[in-house]
Structure 1
Amino acid sequence: MTNKLNAVLVLLLFTIFQVSAQDHQEMVEKIVAETNKNSQLENLAHELLDVVGPRLVGTPQMKNAHNWAVKKYNSWDIAARNEEWGKWKGWERGITHVDLISPRIQSLEARQLAWSPSTGKKPVSAEVIILPAAKDSLDFVNKLNSVKGKFVMISMPQPSGRPDYNWEEWATKESFEKMKTERDSLDKLWDQRLRNTGLSRKELARALEDAGAEGIISSCWSRGFGVNKVFSAYTKEVPTIDVSLEDYGLLYRLAENGDKPEIRVLAESTELGEMPTFNTIAEIKGTEKPEEYVILSAHFDSWDGATGATDNGTGTIVMMETMRILKKLYPNPKRTILVGHWGSEEQGLNGSRAFVKDHPEIVDNVQALFNQDNGTGRVVNISGNGFLNAYDYLGSWLYEVPQEVSRHIETNFPGSPGRGGSDYAAFVAAGAPAFNLSSLSWDYWNYTWHTNRDTYDKIVFDDVRNNVILTAVLAYMASEDPDKTSREKINLPVSRRTGEKMSWPEPRDAERAGMLED
């Protein structure tokens, strides 16, 4: 009797397994078909990047983005909300226009940096000079009176606007080496010029404006054709302008050769005081285990040198499209599927850290979190992030991903805990099994990461569709898994740098009053 009962149980379990496997296969096929035949990615990208635009924390455009996302989710019958977690210095960019007006006329490629003070409605015209060279900090103080009424250039002029790969293709070996030697020499000389001021970059900007400078001119080349990194201003009263490598070099040569270049600058912007900051949260409620969560994660904010297309517009639309597809094909998940569009990641993972701090009941019950951030490319790497048994569950979920997607992916199990870089790290620090879906480059670091060229046209939609399929299948499998994921951590090794045993990263709270105390 016992043997017959065991045989029946084995047969029953086998049948259940077969039915479950078939259900998974059918769902995966539906996900692939919906992603490829009814993609909303181009529409989402257009609405987010072209219409809403850049999403700098503390700006009205960031608030517009949050409201747009909630409205979009509601149109898909997905519950969504904006959760306030802090405040930030409010600022809105206006028109920037910079012209060379002497010794000749030319419009320049330039923009004011984020949070730059405004010139007001009327342009300011003044001579451009190079940061005074000084023997030491005392000598620099003595020379500060020379900047009064001038725009001051504070960046090194690049000897070539051609990226190294272009030199490697076309130059002679001797010519390439000569250029690099010249560039290295200029780097050292300029670093010494800055050190001799005795000031940090922030202190230098403040010292120049206190000495009466009309404004600051910088150029942060990103080692690609026509590409600059665009970050934030340190001045309080006068504008800070980033100028393209090509036009910065023009101004520098004119100033260096005694041609007394003069520019006219219109840099309109508005300071808005204290502005609330938000995360956008949307969720599809679970039916069997609603208090356990599968989280989709992508930061929503960007720098505003361009429209933040690959940092992190692509991650954002991957998660939105995944939620749309799951709501359509899998409207009653076993676990709650929640998406977090985090604010102010660029200033230190602030939105995700605030969520982790404010929602321990969710973080304690995370089945898995999938984060996507670093560009438009197809996902090629997933680490176990130091969770000892990550292979057991993540490996089984990845097995269900179609081969045309999974064949690109290398895994690293158990890996080591991520300590920063993107929002998954905020959850890893709290002990939640969170995984970064890392993309291949598409020259991300040089051409689009925090640059003036991070725009819609840089998106590779076939790769983004690849990532939607991956994310949707992983979310589905994580929700369906009968078992709760293990949070057991690896035994961390001794650090080669310090010689001491490494420790798991500690949770940190968000900056909740950004730029309001300076």
Structure 2
Amino acid sequence: MKKFTGILFLCLVLWGNIVIAQDDPVIESIVREAEENSKLESLAHSLLDSIGPRLVGTPQMNNAHNWAVKKFESWGIPAEKQKWGEWRGWERGVTHIDMVSPRLQTLEGRQLAWSPSTGKKPVTAEVITLPEEIQDSLAFQKWLPKAKGKFVLISMKENTGRPDYNWEEFATEASFEKMKKEREEQSNAWRDKFRTMGYNSRTLPVALEKAGAAGIITSNWSRGFGVNKIFGAYTEKIPTLDLSLEDYGLLYRLAENGSKPQIRVTSESKDLGTVPTFNTIATIKGTELPEEYIVLSAHFDSWDGATGATDNGTGTIVMMETARILKKHYPNPKRTIIVGLWGSEEQGLNGSRAFVEDHPEIVKNIQAVFNQDNGTGRVVNISGNGFLHAYDYLGDWLAKVPDTVTQHIETNFPGSPGRGGSDYASFVAAGAPAFNLSSLNWAYWNYTWHTNRDTYDKIVFDDVRNNVILTAVLAYMASEDEEQASREQIKLKNNPRTGEPQTWPEPRSPNRKGGLD
């Protein structure tokens, strides 16, 4: 078995582009349409600015499905919402947080997803920290009644709000090393405190709620200026709020120094009971081999700290724009092309796992899945995902992509099977050739992944257009290929830690009743 990577592959691709790509009128039309008549900005505006965040179980998620169906149909592509489960229905309302003592200041923060509402009447209460020192779990149980009627700060106070790259640029080496040492010691002490209390970040809010706390306050800093991760609440009756590092630190310092800060909180939300959950599925029917499939894959849902622009608005509009261009310039594909915009990826690939489980007749005849998820950047890496002969067919398809696109891409053949992280893994587990189009990160992990700053202005549309061209040409080539893509898998090596043979990932069933326990 030969292993092909990077330089050799790119040389072949570049040579192939010069000789071949210019001779294919469909590819020329795809590139021209993507570059001269792009709809990406319009799609992004409608999805992100008008509809907004797409948390599973919210009206906004349903609005997004309805919008996508209408948009596909306006391009002459049949589409539908396919129900796959149910979820706790919830809708975010107004969050307003003011410090009212020892002085007045409006604070930057928001309620977490599925947080209970304060109602329309504000709640005003003192803010306290967890006890500085805890001897054992029994001592913490004795402390818990002190939380009654208070907002409790349950996150560590960060010792700096500057990301490491800022320290590296301006600090002395000694100062930078000192900061990192202090931060590590503080983080270790904080983890030890939670172990001593006998709780974790999920169970502590529940205990404080039972003790009569007025609310929970967190700050989940993402190691960038002004950026926090925003996830979900674990309380059922009291609000859970996330504050910016700056304002969280302000309250923490006031509380630990005896100033007894008070905040006034309006945190409105609606519990909508049980609501259906969907995938949006659009189909361009094949003409010669309609029972074989190309799947253009992207998750449609997001967390709701911002509008989900790069996670995964960009992947969504890449697949929608790709479908539009193919319908216009390749209207009668050889194989059927499906666009799958999946729901509830963020809670465990649920939408794509449901599709794989519910449609074995499609999965067994998939020619290729092309998935895009991780941010706004141009695609820079593609793995064969453990399919032994992926180089033979994926390499041929990539050779037709313009060199302005492929010059950025490194490949890893045959690679190893992806086991999670995005929806391609749902298909890999079922044995279908599925490939993740992995992007240049553009500070994704710190600044936009699951944060309060994942908004339209972070999109780099030149890179997104690059990804549309790549995806459209790959889909066209996979559709036209005379042969069906091989599913033969590599023989996996032993696990280096255990010495035991590794196995191919197995399909997992989705959670079809989320948040309804």
> How does the TM-score come out when normalised to structure 2?
0.95
For the residues of structure 2 that align with 1:24 and 1:90, how far apart are their CA atoms?
A: 52
Alignment partner, residue 161 of structure 2: 161
Pairing 1:358–2:358 present: yes
What is the identity, as a one-letter code, of the residue corresponding to 2:26?
M
Asked if structure 2 preserves the Cα contact closer than 8 Å seen for 1:134 and 1:143, the reply is: no
Matched ranges for 1:176-187 at <5 A:
176-187=176-187
For the residues of structure 2 that align with 1:261 and 1:22, how far apart are their CA atoms?
A: 66
Identity %: 72
Deviations 1:488-518 (A, max 9, x none): 000000001221000000001110000111x
CA gap of 1:22–1:234, structure 2 versus 1, over 3 A, is closer
Deviations 1:74-122 (A, max 9, x none): 1101000000000001100000000000000000000000000110011
Matched ranges for 1:58-97 at <5 A:
58-97=57-96
Alignment partner, residue 451 of structure 1: 451
Deviations 1:385-413 (A, max 9, x none): 00000000000000000000001000000
Pairing 1:148–2:148 present: yes
For the residues of structure 2 that align with 1:190 and 1:331, how far apart are their CA atoms?
A: 59
Alignment partner, residue 508 of structure 2: 508
Q: Which moved more, 1:197-206 or 1:291-300?
A: 197-206
Pairing 1:318–2:318 present: yes
Q: Cα offset for 1:178?
A: 1.4
For the residues of structure 2 that align with 1:486 and 1:364, how far apart are their CA atoms?
A: 12
Asked if structure 1 preserves the Cα contact closer than 8 Å seen for 2:21 and 2:400, the reply is: no
CA gap of 1:405–1:513, structure 2 versus 1, over 3 A, is same
Alignment partner, residue 12 of structure 2: none
Pairing 1:198–2:198 present: yes
Deviations 1:430-476 (A, max 9, x none): 00000000001100000000000000000000000000000000000
Asked if structure 1 preserves the Cα contact closer than 8 Å seen for 2:85 and 2:512, the reply is: yes
For the residues of structure 1 that align with 2:145 and 2:393, how far apart are their CA atoms?
A: 66
- SS of residue in 2 equivalent to 1:134: coil
Q: Which moved more, 1:196-205 or 1:453-462?
A: 196-205
Q: Cα offset for 1:184?
A: 1.2
Q: Cα offset for 1:25?
A: 2.1
What is the identity, as a one-letter code, of the residue corresponding to 1:402?
P
Pairing 1:245–2:245 present: yes
Alignment partner, residue 109 of structure 1: 108
Pairing 1:469–2:445 present: no
Deviations 1:281-305 (A, max 9, x none): 0010000000000110000000000
Q: Cα offset for 1:148?
A: 0.6
Alignment partner, residue 334 of structure 2: 334
Alignment partner, residue 262 of structure 2: 262
**Count of aligned pairs:** 498
For the residues of structure 2 that align with 1:255 and 1:306, how far apart are their CA atoms?
A: 29
Runs (5+) with no aligned partner, structure 2 = 1-18
Alignment partner, residue 7 of structure 1: none
- SS of residue in 1 equivalent to 2:347: coil
For the residues of structure 2 that align with 1:56 and 1:311, how far apart are their CA atoms?
A: 12
Alignment partner, residue 16 of structure 2: none
For the residues of structure 1 that align with 2:470 and 2:297, how far apart are their CA atoms?
A: 14
Alignment partner, residue 301 of structure 1: 301
For the residues of structure 2 that align with 1:164 and 1:25, how far apart are their CA atoms?
A: 48
What is the identity, as a one-letter code, of the residue corresponding to 1:48?
L
For the residues of structure 1 that align with 2:390 and 2:189, how far apart are their CA atoms?
A: 49
- SS of residue in 1 equivalent to 2:95: strand
For the residues of structure 2 that align with 1:32 and 1:191, how far apart are their CA atoms?
A: 53
Runs (5+) with no aligned partner, structure 1 = 1-19
Deviations 1:252-308 (A, max 9, x none): 000010000000010000001101000000010000000000110000000000000
For the residues of structure 1 that align with 2:151 and 2:459, how far apart are their CA atoms?
A: 37
- SS of residue in 2 equivalent to 1:201: coil
Asked if structure 1 preserves the Cα contact closer than 8 Å seen for 2:311 and 2:373, the reply is: yes
Deviations 1:105-148 (A, max 9, x none): 00000000000011001110000000124211111000111111
Asked if structure 1 preserves the Cα contact closer than 8 Å seen for 2:21 and 2:402, the reply is: no
Alignment partner, residue 11 of structure 2: none
Q: Cα offset for 1:188?
A: 1.5
Alignment partner, residue 212 of structure 1: 212
What is the identity, as a one-letter code, of the residue corresponding to 1:37?
E
Deviations 1:24-62 (A, max 9, x none): 622111111100100000000000000000000000000
- SS of residue in 2 equivalent to 1:355: helix
Alignment partner, residue 379 of structure 2: 379
Q: Cα offset for 1:243?
A: 0.2
Q: Cα offset for 1:23?
A: 8.8
Deviations 1:370-391 (A, max 9, x none): 0000000000000000000000
Alignment partner, residue 54 of structure 1: 53
For the residues of structure 2 that align with 1:418 and 1:306, how far apart are their CA atoms?
A: 28
Deviations 1:204-244 (A, max 9, x none): 11110100100000000000000000000011110000000
Q: Cα offset for 1:249?
A: 0.4
Asked if structure 1 preserves the Cα contact closer than 8 Å seen for 2:22 and 2:28, the reply is: no
Asked if structure 2 preserves the Cα contact closer than 8 Å seen for 1:134 and 1:140, the reply is: yes
- SS of residue in 1 equivalent to 2:202: helix
- SS of residue in 2 equivalent to 1:292: strand
Pairing 1:421–2:459 present: no
Alignment partner, residue 13 of structure 2: none
For the residues of structure 1 that align with 2:399 and 2:111, how far apart are their CA atoms?
A: 49
For the residues of structure 2 that align with 1:294 and 1:237, how far apart are their CA atoms?
A: 46
For the residues of structure 2 that align with 1:471 and 1:506, how far apart are their CA atoms?
A: 27
Q: CA RMSD in A?
A: 1.0
What is the identity, as a one-letter code, of the residue corresponding to 2:267?
A
For the residues of structure 2 that align with 1:84 and 1:277, how far apart are their CA atoms?
A: 6
Q: Which has the larger radius of gyration?
A: 1
Q: Cα offset for 1:334?
A: 0.3
For the residues of structure 1 that align with 2:255 and 2:24, how far apart are their CA atoms?
A: 67
For the residues of structure 1 that align with 2:488 and 2:79, how far apart are their CA atoms?
A: 32
What is the identity, as a one-letter code, of the residue corresponding to 1:128?
V
Asked if structure 2 preserves the Cα contact closer than 8 Å seen for 1:447 and 1:453, the reply is: yes
Asked if structure 2 preserves the Cα contact closer than 8 Å seen for 1:418 and 1:425, the reply is: yes
Asked if structure 2 preserves the Cα contact closer than 8 Å seen for 1:312 and 1:374, the reply is: yes
For the residues of structure 2 that align with 1:162 and 1:23, how far apart are their CA atoms?
A: 49
For the residues of structure 1 that align with 2:164 and 2:226, how far apart are their CA atoms?
A: 14
Alignment partner, residue 290 of structure 1: 290
Deviations 1:300-329 (A, max 9, x none): 000000000000000000000000000000
What is the identity, as a one-letter code, of the residue corresponding to 1:58?
G
What is the identity, as a one-letter code, of the residue corresponding to 1:268?
E
For the residues of structure 2 that align with 1:482 and 1:178, how far apart are their CA atoms?
A: 62
For the residues of structure 1 that align with 2:506 and 2:423, how far apart are their CA atoms?
A: 14
Alignment partner, residue 9 of structure 2: none
